[in-house]
Amino acid sequence: MTQGLPVTPDLPSTRLPSTVGGSRRTGWVMVLTGTVGWLASFQLTVDDWRLLRDPSYQPPCNISPVVSCGSVMSSPQGSLFGFPNMLLGLGAFAAVAALGVAVLTGSRLHRRLWLSLTAGALVGVVFVHWLIGQSLYTLDKLCPYCAVVWAVTIALFWYVALHCLERGILRAPRGLLLLLRDTHWMLLGAWYGVIALLVLTRFWPYWSSLL
């Protein structure tokens, strides 16, 4: 099912408006991904704080030797910039949710803000995929709350970028844009499917032991 507004015709950049509204789909994606991502980041922050106070504390997400958050949070990858990664999520996802509410209430955001949001989401996606690689092939752990953050970051980038293409904020060949609009949910599903396949194959001995 195709959603979104008609494709913006190719116009000189000087004729494009400085502020651009958002579709309800984009607004809801921002609100939902921002809220879910913030909640997951908050839970990770609480568990990390408790773990710092009591090294023997067992976070509720420590389900098995494979599905575990504690060892991931205490690893160097969990504080890549010198502080817990989840603090980035607390700030970023709160901003995304707030902007999503503004979009749903009819506010028009400046083009530069849309571009900044897309660029930030792209950085987040790159960071998320690095964390996926580290979790699967270095730490050998799967953090449930981290996986939630991975999922919402990917969805946020995908639909904000698509919105920017639909509104002419970003440029792409018309044929490519039409293809993305018609298959956006299938492509996103395939993206998730590849990650799920990597998780399944990496920990297959553990998953098979549960059968």
User: Which letter, b or e, does each residue of 10-40 get, where b requires 16 or more Cβ atoms within 10 Å of its Cβ?
Assistant: eeeeeeeeeebebbebbbebbbbbbbbbbbb
| pLDDT surpasses 60 at 38 | yes
| pLDDT surpasses 70 at 6 | no
Is residue 15 very low, low, confident or very high in pLDDT (cuts 50, 70, 90)? low
Distance of alpha carbon 59 from alpha carbon 46, whole angstroms: 9
| pLDDT surpasses 50 at 177 | yes
Mean pLDDT, rounded, of the chain: 91
Mean pLDDT confidence for 115-132: 97
Contacts of residue 36, Cβ cutoff 8 Å, sequence gap at least 6: 148, 152
Mean pLDDT confidence for 140-152: 96
Mean pLDDT confidence for 56-66: 91
Is residue 7 very low, low, confident or very high in pLDDT (cuts 50, 70, 90)? very low
Please give the domain boundaries of the chain with CATH numbers for all domains: 21-209 (1.20.1440.130)
pLDDT at position 114, please?
95
Q: What is the DSSP string of 134-182?
A: HIIIII--B-HHHHHHHHHHHHHHHHHHHHHHHTTSS---HHHHHHHHH
Percent of the chain whose predicted confidence (pLDDT) is above 90: 82
